Chain A
């Protein structure tokens, strides 16, 4: 039999958990202690307007993706810098990486998992390109990973700030998306997961060449 949805999900979980291997066990334990606090909102504004509960799910405020890209710092609000490395995990929201690999946990029917997952492939259009591509948003854990993937897909780009830039032509491509209401929005304003749930398609919009610095 072919690989079922459960196995594919397992792979995606494994992809996101490789990020977590960067951290030492003591760091993970320390984080767990931090999150094991009172019922009140966790102190500190590190996550800003970002959901406070997200902290309990892991490392969003401190993980820096070690892929050499510059300038991506975690910030408040739905910034591109906000990552949620374990959002592709099966919902076992603890800080321990191994938890995310538990088979059949949380106990949610495959039917439900598949029904909610089915919507995540979206078309990517780049202004000026002859054909479109498709990406599965679900496999990325945040905006930065998505941009990185787009950068690889349309290999003329590099990421600078929140844009994709073609250094040869000197043009900026602003990532935009069409949401479920049919409106064209700027990528990056809302929390990553809300974006995944409402994004119908992506378009890298070409704007005028940047003025030299």
Chain B
């Protein structure tokens, strides 16, 4: 192969789709490394502290698309303090200084400042795609900069970010010459939006296919937008309350009927059941439906809607759908692949929640199901065994029994056998989240059977170090392990220190790991960063000279070639 000219090798590498494959070929020989690095167009950095931005820029000068992830997953649930880190600015600065022609940037769980958005907007004239997921630190002023300077912007996708509202002017910053938008998602913005500017923007972007509005956009505005963009494929409604007598309602139905390409619906903010019939005309085409922000839609109204969605592949709902509602999903949505049932505890309706019955019904009615997130009040081993048998194709299985450590209510046994059945049956399982009462036994099963498992989330589970060791020994493809409130200590942590270099990261909080264990790990493995996160008061005497035997509240370990990071706040100890 080394006799082939470089252009040929490069051409062959073009066929390699995945990052993993490209990473692999780059290690074959120097020549291939050289060809690969110059022809690489897309880089994915799973942990922003695993490598320095400058190094990425130096190695891949031709990169046009960058994806970076910051905070550990448990940051989603307030387990990581706000100032922990994960800053986007160093990455944008490095790419700007390196003179790279960045076109796409995707960031998840990172701190993105307005300053960095401004720099991004000004530094890359060909910039086309910005996707921010679960990020924070910026305001609508940063968005204004993007709108103003990114002349060929195609995608602005803001998913579940905390964005400070500085007024509606950002949307008006898209110049009249901007006609390139294909995807615009600002559903997470809390503030007002200039309706006229929005309608004009949609009208002049003939290629717009994804549009997700925020709560401030009225139904009237939605109607006008649908009239201008009947070729939409993915729509997130704004506020979905109207007086059903009004003309607005009738206009809405008419305009929805014209949207023949609509495949995905979400939003439904403040939706009232009486508005639902407006979407009936397009339900038959829907492959994706997200009703998880509409607590007032439940019972008969919800069921009526679902019965029309014969082609549904992806459904997100609140648990007020109830087991009965799930039975309707099971009998209607034969193409269902992904189901998420969220708890409606905050603003929820107390009439129904879901149990193992709903899940069993889904599993028998929807054989194509491969991705599940299910919050429920109880689960039984029998049900899980049935689910495992009915749906052997799970790649993602996340079960959250709301009461931590709750056993099978029928037998009072732990749920080891149930989850064991899942991992044994689902050979392609890549992601698993456990809950309920669990002993070390479930980890034995996971270690034995979950060969493809890449991410495992454990909470309030296990009896002893053995549990964690089973997992570390058994799961060859494990990349991310996150554990909270489980009795695993130093012995488990230090059992196989080399394992952590084969993984992206390990998170342990409220476990039995001590400072000594962390220090030992850090000393043995220089290419791991071992971070101990302390949130105690300044006055705590522990500050002075913490005993090594003290249990560590939160520990985050990750492999890195960048060495200890220099932006860690005071409460993070880099060991």
Question: Which residue numbers of A lie inside 8 Å of B, CB to CB?
Answer: 1, 4, 6, 36-39, 51, 53-54, 56-57, 84, 87, 89-94, 99, 102-113, 115-120, 138, 179-182, 191-194, 196-198
The answer to whether A181 touches B349, judged by C-beta atoms less than 8 angstroms apart, is no
Known: A4-B78, A36-B409, A193-B349. 20 other contacts (CB 8 A): A39-B380, A51-B351, A51-B353, A53-B355, A53-B377, A56-B377, A57-B377, A94-B402, A99-B403, A103-B77, A103-B79, A104-B484, A110-B77, A111-B134, A116-B293, A116-B346, A180-B270, A194-B350, A197-B347, A198-B272
Q: Kindly provide the distance from the CB of B434 to the nearest chain A CB, expressed in whole angstroms.
A: 11
* In the complex, B70 has a CB within 8 A of chain A: no
The 8 Å CB contact of B402, one of A4, A37, A93, A194, is: A93
B402, A104: Cβ atoms closer than 8 Å? no
Chain B positions within 8 Å of A108 at CB level = 77, 342-343, 375
B432 to chain A, nearest CB (A): 14
Instruction: Point out the residues of chain A lying under 8 angstroms from B433, CB to CB.
Output: 107
A115 CB, min distance to chain B CBs, angstroms: 6
Contacts of A198 in B (CB 8 A): 272, 296
CA distance A84 to B350 in the complex (A): 9
Decide: B296 and A180 in contact? CB cutoff 8 A.
yes
Contact A6 B78 (CB under 8 A): yes
Contact of B345 among A51, A90, A115, A194 (CB under 8 A): A90
Question: What are 28 A-B residue pairs whose CB atoms fall within 8 Å in the complex?
Answer: A1-B82, A4-B78, A36-B412, A38-B409, A51-B352, A53-B355, A57-B377, A87-B350, A91-B346, A103-B78, A104-B78, A105-B77, A107-B77, A107-B459, A108-B343, A109-B160, A110-B162, A111-B188, A112-B160, A112-B292, A116-B295, A116-B344, A116-B346, A180-B241, A180-B296, A181-B272, A193-B349, A193-B351
Contact with A along B155-172 (1 / 0, CB 8 A): 000001110000000000
Q: Nearest-CB distance from B109 to chain A (Å)? A: 10
CB distance B378 to A56 under 8 Å? yes
Chain B residue numbers with a CB within 8 Å of A180 are 241, 270-272, 296
Decide if the interface of chain B is mainly helix, strand, loop or mixed. Answer: loop
Judged by a CB distance under 8 angstroms, whether B74 is at the interface is yes
Asked whether, in the complex, the Cβ of B347 is within 8 Å of the Cβ of A116, the reply is yes
- Tell me if B270 and A91 are in contact (CB < 8 A): no
Closest 6 pairs (CB-CB, A-B)? A91-B345, A104-B77, A180-B272, A94-B403, A193-B350, A194-B349
Please tell me if B274 contacts chain A, counting CB pairs below 8 Å.
yes
Instruction: Write the chain A residue with the least CB distance to B295.
Output: A197
Check B409 against A37 for contact (C-beta < 8 Å).
Answer: yes
Number of A-B contacts (CB under 8 A): 146
Instruction: Assess the A119–B270 pair: CB atoms within 8 A.
Output: yes
Task: Answer whether residue B34 sits at the interface, using C-beta atoms and an 8 A cutoff.
Answer: no
- Tell me, yes or no, whether B28 is within 8 Å of chain A by CB: no
Give the CA-CA distance A1 to B82 in the complex, in Å: 9
Interface status of B410 (Cβ within 8 A of chain A): yes
Given A180-B270, A197-B296, A198-B296, A53 and B348 touching (CB < 8 A)?
no
Contact A197 B410 (CB under 8 A): no
Among B78, B375, B412, max chain A CB count under 10 A is at: B78
Residue of B nearest to A105 (CB): B404
Whether B188 pairs with A104 at a CB distance below 8 angstroms is no
* Closest residue on chain B to residue A196 by CB atoms: B347
A117 in contact with B350 given A6-B78, A92-B402, A180-B296 (CB within 8 Å)? no
B:341-373 near A, CB below 8 Å: 342-353, 355-357
Given the known inter-chain contacts A106-B400, A109-B77, please indicate yes or no for A53 contacting B353, CB distance below 8 A: yes
Interface size class of B (residues with CB under 8 A): 35 or more
Known interface pairs A94-B406, A111-B188, A197-B295. Does A53 touch B345 (Cβ–Cβ under 8 Å)? Answer: no
Answer whether A117 and B347 are a contact pair too, CB < 8 Å, given A111-B160, A180-B270: yes
Q: CB of B243 within 8 A of chain A?
A: yes
A181 partner residues in chain B, CB cutoff 8 A: 244, 272-274
- Within the complex, the shortest CB–CB distance from A196 to chain B, in Å, comes to 6
**B176 sits at the interface (CB 8 A):** no
A194 engages B403 (CB within 8 Å): no
**Taking the nearest CB of chain A, how far is it from the CB of B93, in angstroms?**
25
Does any Cβ of A come within 8 Å of B538's Cβ?
no
| B382 nearest in chain A by CB position | A39
- The smallest C-beta distance from B438 to any residue of chain A, in angstroms, reads 15
Q: In the docked arrangement, what's the CA distance between A105 and B461, Å?
A: 14
Q: Does B541 contact A (CB under 8 A)?
A: no
B76 CB-CB contact with A under 8 Å: yes
CA distance A16 to B535 in the complex (A): 26
Question: Within 8 Å CB of B188, what residues of A?
Answer: 111
For the complex formed, measure the closest distance between the CB of B535 and the CB atoms of chain A, giving whole angstroms.
Answer: 11
Residues of chain B contacted by A37 (CB below 8 angstroms): 409
Q: Which of B292, B296, B351, B404 contacts A191 (CB 8 A)?
A: B351
Which chain B positions have C-beta within 8 A of A90?
345
CB of B349 within 8 A of CB of A197, answer yes
Q: Assess whether A111 is in contact with B162, with CB atoms less than 8 Å apart.
A: yes
Contact of B74 among A54, A104, A110, A192 (CB under 8 A): A104
**When the two chains form their complex, are residues B346 and A39 in contact, meaning their CB atoms are under 8 A apart?**
no
Please, how many angstroms separate the alpha-carbon atoms of A118 and B295 in the complex? 12
Residue of B nearest to A193 (CB): B350
The complex places the Cα of A197 from the Cα of B400 at a distance, in Å, of: 23
0/1 string, B394-409, CB within 8 A of A gives 1: 0000001011101001
Is A120 within 8 A of B347, CB to CB?
yes
Measured CB to CB, the closest approach of chain B to A177, in angstroms, equals: 13
Q: Which residues of B contact A38 (CB under 8 A)?
A: 409-410
Contact yes or no, A117 B346, CB < 8 A: yes
Residues of chain A with a CB closer than 8 A to B190's CB: 118
- Chain B residues within an 8 Å CB radius of A89: 345
Measured in the bound complex, the distance between the Cα atoms of B79 and A84 in whole Å is 28
Name the A residues within 8 Å of B355 (CB-CB).
39, 53
Q: Could you say which residues of chain B place their CB within 8 Å of the CB of A87?
A: 345, 348, 350
Q: Min CB distance, A47 to chain B, in Å?
A: 11
Counting chain B CB atoms within 10 Å of each CB, the highest count among A84, A91, A99 belongs to A91
Taken together as a complex, chains A and B put the C-alpha atoms of A58 and B473 apart, in Å, by 41
